[in-house]
Chain A
Amino acid sequence: MSTPTRRDFVLGSAAVALATAIPSNVFAASASKIKVGVVGCGGRGRSAALDACTADPDVEIVAMGDMWADRVGEAMKTLTDRVPKQVNVPRDRQFSGWKAYEQVIATDCDYVILATPPAFRPMHLEAAIKAKKHVFMEKPIAVDAPGVRSVLASSETAKANKLSIVAGTQRRHELAYRETMKRIHDGQMGEVVACYAYWNQGGLWQVTRTPQMSDMEWQLRNWLYFTWLSGDHIVEQHIHNLDVCNWAMRSFPVKAVSLAGRQVRTDAAYGHIFDHFATEYEYESGAKMLSMCRQIDGTSSRVAEHLVGTKGSSNANTWIKGENTWRWEGERPNPYVLEHKALIDSIRGGKAINDGESVAKSTLTAIMGRMAGYSGQEVTWDDALKSDVSLMPSKLEFGKLEVPPVAVPGKTQAL
């Protein structure tokens, strides 16, 4: 249950005043409203919509779409419970099915939130940018190299058309991370020579298959566990930490080797993805990044980054130790709200911002690690980027869809 906040009250009063006291011919002022469409109404899409509403009181959610109509209904309930004055989504702007994204994008929204499973992001981004919409897109932004190239191209089109793209790699919007990175880029830690990235945790949710579910529905509802949908957990989750290291390095790795496998979470309910990757990346400068990610219940967990420079070290977000020891003391406002605020400010100010290239290349960093893990081979950036392996099924429709075999290092061709 939501309780009215002071902001609700103030806004409510203002809205009433506006409606009663101001003649209708000044409604041009409503251009200050930012209209948002939501593509993907799961837990993440709902949360992003709420964050957008929190970021600016003049945000209005105007359209919602998801594969499943019941998900749209649940999201409508969540949003109208919490931010009733910022939801204006009549029935004819609630969409479901494979084409829901096109219908959301076709409304008069200013920006779209793209929060479906990552497989569809390149397609959705391309459609949104073609329709001249600004975009907030959840990470990762693709699951394979063709998807990454598509996002890079859409990102260039967005730049040419002065459209903003903000990505859900929220650490880049967190004040403590930004200040630490500024200091590292200023050379306060010397040259960064080693990075460590971790996302080790237990398992995640899984939806039990019912007899009514087709292969496609079962896979979509369990999208984490199918590489074509999620990219595997190194792409889906670990990208956050890889992105922080790339940010510190101000470059992207040139190659990767990885020891990886599916050792414990082997039940067919968990699709065919791996449960662990330990990957060594190398940058142009010779600096290395050691990355680990694991989803195995009952194992020790760690989600973090650690950076080593020639004059010190850092946890990438609250401290630097060494010649220029420093510690973050400021407030840490919610980065999930700040990322929407940055997007809204860019729209209002007419000054486009674009995270597209950095998030696409960090996504490719993760994909390169997966390719190295699945194949057991060293994989270079250039080979990863030009790979023509598309993981997208040939037909996007409900029905039969085989689960690919679990990759076998030394045998599987990943490129």
Chain B
Amino acid sequence: MMIATVASLVMAMAPVEVQEVKIPKTLASFKIVKIPAGTLKTATGEVKIAEFWIGQTEVTWDTYDVYAFKMDLSDAEKAANAEASSRPSKPYGAPDRGFGHKGFAALGPHLNAAENYCKWLSRKTGKKFRLATPEEWEYAARAGDLGAAPKNLEKTAWLWETSDDVAHPVGKLPANEFGLHDMFGNVTEWVKDASGTGWVMGGSFADKAASIRFDTKKPYDPAWQEADAHVPKSKWWLSNGEIIGFRVVSTG
């Protein structure tokens, strides 16, 4: 406990470095935060983490709409079905679940959609974007905290106890020592490991605080698509994925 507190204080001394990323020819923008290089201690040893940038919040509809609903394409391009293979299909039902839209996390992207969003964002901005690795995600979530589970979740995370069963606007609760909001709760976030497998981390508004750990990662669950009443199921939208979102990582 003492050690963790000291570590947090040391980290807090470094000023948070934030960059705004604008998506050209749109009004949409978002912020990324610099995460200093360091070491992540895991059950199996130590992992070196190189410096990277990560979304200050989960990806919101403000930018995801531009991608998913092709708001950056002309009517002619849309009619010609441009980029059909890298843009989401039309969603069935209400993607935002009626929780709210502007400033809310984009809900229910399939791993494939989250990854294609990163590629699209890279093309649009000229920066390199991808999903975090599980180690990067945990390192960013810990922000120097060496405990098994995050503290003060009742103040910093939308979880079962506080969420009222819905997602909330991002960035409304206090950030961690790295300046990141909503690492825990709200929506659980896609990451991708070195073998190419997608996982979600951080828990969601439907999870209870007692279940939250820094290193818990869950694999794809077919239950996330069970209300997708058609076969084949969507490669883009998780019909029961209102608990799922993602944040982007940039390495330059």
Q: Is the CB of B230 within 8 A of A318?
A: no
Give Cα A202 to B65, complex, Å.
12
Option from A200, A202, A304, A336 in Cβ contact (under 8 Å) with B226: A336
Given A202-B91, A302-B98, A336-B165 contact (CB < 8 Å): no
B49: min CB distance to chain A, Å: 33
Q: Which residue of A lies closest to B70 (CB)?
A: A297
Residues of B within 8 A of A286 (CB): none
Q: Is the CB of A327 within 8 A of B165?
A: yes
Residues of B within 8 A of A336 (CB): 226-227, 229
B234: min CB distance to chain A, Å: 10
Q: How many residues of A contact B (CB 8 A)?
A: 32
B232: min CB distance to chain A, Å: 7
Q: Is the CB of A297 within 8 A of B69?
A: yes
Q: Does B95 contact A (CB under 8 A)?
A: yes
Interface string of B78-110 (1 = CB under 8 A from A): 000000000001111111111001000000000
Residues of B within 8 A of A334 (CB): 223, 226-227
Question: In this complex, which of A42, A47, A168 has the most chain B Cβ atoms within 10 angstroms of its Cβ?
Answer: A47
A74: min CB distance to chain B, Å: 9
Q: Which residues 164-201 in A have Cβ within 8 Å of B in the complex? A: 168, 170, 198-201
Q: Is the CB of B165 within 8 A of A303?
A: no
Q: Which residue of A lies closest to B93 (CB)?
A: A303
Residues of B within 8 A of A202 (CB): 69, 90-91
Residues of B within 8 A of A50 (CB): 231
Q: Is the CB of A201 within 8 A of B230?
A: no
The dominant DSSP class at the A interface is: mixed
B99: min CB distance to chain A, Å: 9
Q: Is the CB of A203 within 8 A of B94?
A: no
Option from B95, B96, B98, B229 in Cβ contact (under 8 Å) with A44: B229
Q: Which residues 209-241 in B have Cβ within 8 Å of A in the complex? A: 223, 226-232
Given A203-B90, A205-B90, A319-B165, A301-B95 contact (CB < 8 Å): yes
Q: Which residues 40-93 in B have Cβ within 8 Å of A in the complex? A: 69, 89-93
Given A47-B230, A319-B165, A300-B90 contact (CB < 8 Å): no
Residues of B within 8 A of A335 (CB): 227
Q: Does A276 contact B (CB under 8 A)?
A: no
Q: Is the CB of A200 within 8 A of B92?
A: no
Q: Is the CB of A47 within 8 A of B229?
A: yes
Q: How many residues of B contact A (CB 8 A)?
A: 21
Q: Is the CB of B226 within 8 A of A298?
A: no
Give Cα A203 to B226, complex, Å.
21
Q: Does A358 contact B (CB under 8 A)?
A: no
Give Cα A319 to B228, complex, Å.
24
Give Cα A297 to B95, complex, Å.
12
Give Cα A43 to B93, complex, Å.
16
A146: min CB distance to chain B, Å: 27
Interface string of A28-51 (1 = CB under 8 A from B): 000000000000001110111010
Q: Which residue of B lies closest to A204 (CB)?
A: B90
Residues of A within 8 A of B101 (CB): 300
Give Cα A319 to B163, complex, Å.
13
Give Cα A318 to B166, complex, Å.
11
Q: Which residue of A lies closest to B208 (CB)?
A: A329
Given A43-B231, A297-B69, A303-B94 contact (CB < 8 Å): yes
B70: min CB distance to chain A, Å: 10
Interface string of A290-303 (1 = CB under 8 A from B): 00000001101111
Q: Does A78 contact B (CB under 8 A)?
A: yes
Residues of B within 8 A of A48 (CB): 229
Q: Is the CB of B98 within 8 A of A301?
A: yes
Give Cα A388 to B68, complex, Å.
44
Given A78-B231, A318-B165, A302-B90 contact (CB < 8 Å): no
A84: min CB distance to chain B, Å: 15
A256: min CB distance to chain B, Å: 23
Residues of A within 8 A of B226 (CB): 334, 336-337
Give Cα A201 to B93, complex, Å.
5
Q: Is the CB of B231 within 8 A of A201?
A: no
Residues of A within 8 A of B98 (CB): 198, 301-304
Q: Is the CB of A43 within 8 A of B230?
A: yes
Residues of A within 8 A of B94 (CB): 200-201, 301-304
Residues of B within 8 A of A297 (CB): 69, 90
Q: Is the CB of B69 within 8 A of A298?
A: yes
B1: min CB distance to chain A, Å: 31
Give Cα A337 to B92, complex, Å.
20
Give Cα A205 to B92, complex, Å.
10
A21: min CB distance to chain B, Å: 33
Interface string of B154-182 (1 = CB under 8 A from A): 00000000000100000000000000000
Question: In this complex, which of A199, A205, A319, A334 has the most chain B Cβ atoms within 10 angstroms of its Cβ?
Answer: A334
Interface string of A306-318 (1 = CB under 8 A from B): 0000000000001
Q: Which residues 87-145 in A have Cβ within 8 Å of B in the complex? A: none
Option from A46, A201, A300, A319 in Cβ contact (under 8 Å) with B92: A201
Q: Is the CB of B96 within 8 A of A301?
A: yes
Residues of B within 8 A of A170 (CB): 229
Question: Which residues in A have some Cβ–Cβ distance to B below 8 Å?
Answer: 42-44, 46-48, 50, 78, 168, 170, 198-205, 297-298, 300-304, 318-319, 327, 334-337
**What are 19 contact pairs spanning A and B, CB under 8 A?**
A43-B229, A43-B231, A44-B229, A47-B229, A78-B231, A201-B92, A201-B94, A202-B69, A202-B90, A202-B91, A203-B90, A205-B90, A297-B69, A301-B96, A301-B98, A303-B98, A334-B223, A334-B227, A335-B227
Question: Which residues in B have some Cβ–Cβ distance to A below 8 Å?
Answer: 69, 89-98, 101, 165, 223, 226-232
Extra contacts, 10 of them, besides A168-B229, A205-B90, A303-B97 (Cβ < 8 A), are A43-B231, A43-B232, A44-B230, A48-B229, A78-B231, A201-B94, A202-B69, A301-B95, A334-B223, A337-B226
- The 10 A-B pairs of least Cβ separation, nearest first, read A43-B230, A301-B94, A302-B98, A46-B231, A334-B226, A303-B94, A47-B231, A303-B93, A302-B94, A47-B229
